[in-house]
């Protein structure tokens, strides 16, 4: 798909088009074509994103303490909400993938989507500076930011706080199984508190499975 369409979606026109192309180049594509990939940009984009969101919520929620600000930031910059924002941009149509990764549905994997979005933010930062990156980030993540304070995306933290209200507890996440090939595995995790099983969950990574288990545990507690 024409990258100009992506520029229109994020309302930013690159002066150096090669930065945009690099941001969209997955490591599987670069390995097949002997070129650079977006991993370094992803590293930078992660830092730029965290700085922009930290400043934004600091000013937007003056009554929040450090702990609440941290949890709110996590609910915005973690893989799941970033992947959702990337899907809304239809970023999957622009990512350059190797043949194998494309066949395995790599363009729709949450990890690939969120990593590419971070690389895109870094590309804007390098091309236009902090102010341009800030504008793009806050525009692209507008809905995520608006919803973040309404839903507990970090279910593990919420579960910990809920169970620890009456005193110290020991929460353990146990990996029960991993099914499928490594590139497309499904993990199942069980969460227990003081030896009592509270919930189970599945996900495309151990972290996502733990979040799913914590989410189920919270539902059980609320019933």
Catalytic residues: 46, 118
Structure-token pair, residue 84: 């959702």
SS3 73: helix
CB 173 within 8 Å of CB 149: no
CA dihedral 31, 77, 21, 11 (to 10 degrees): 170
**Total Cβ atoms within 10 A of residue 194:** 11
CB 178 within 8 Å of CB 186: yes
DSSP letter string, 146-176: HHHTTS-S-HHHHHHHHHGGGS---EEEEEE
Contacts of 82 (CB under 8 A, 6+ apart): 113, 114, 117, 118, 141, 144
């Amino acid at each position: 798909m024409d990258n100009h369409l992506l520029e229109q979606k994020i309302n930013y026109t690159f002066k150096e088009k090669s930065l945009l192309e690099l941001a969209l180049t997955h490591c599987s594509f670069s390995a097949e074509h002997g070129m650079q990939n977006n991993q370094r940009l992803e590293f930078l984009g992660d830092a730029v994103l965290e700085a922009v969101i930290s400043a934004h919520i600091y000013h937007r929620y003056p009554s929040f303490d450090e702990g609440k600000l941290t949890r709110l930031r996590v609910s915005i910059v973690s893989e799941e909400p970033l992947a959702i924002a990337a899907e809304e941009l239809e970023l999957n149509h622009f990512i350059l993938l190797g043949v194998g990764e494309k066949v395995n549905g790599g363009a729709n994997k949450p990890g690939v989507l969120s990593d590419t979005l971070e690389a895109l933010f870094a590309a804007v930062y390098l091309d236009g500076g902090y102010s341009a990156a800030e504008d793009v980030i806050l525009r692209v993540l507008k809905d995520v930011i608006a919803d973040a304070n309404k839903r507990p995306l970090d279910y593990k933290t919420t579960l910990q706080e809920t169970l620890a209200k009456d005193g110290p507890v020991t929460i353990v996440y146990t990996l029960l199984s991993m099914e499928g090939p490594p590139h497309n595995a499904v993990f199942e995790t069980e969460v227990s508190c003081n030896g009592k099983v509270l919930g189970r969950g599945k996900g495309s990574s151990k972290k996502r499975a733990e979040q799913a288990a914590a989410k189920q545990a919270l539902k059980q507690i609320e019933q």
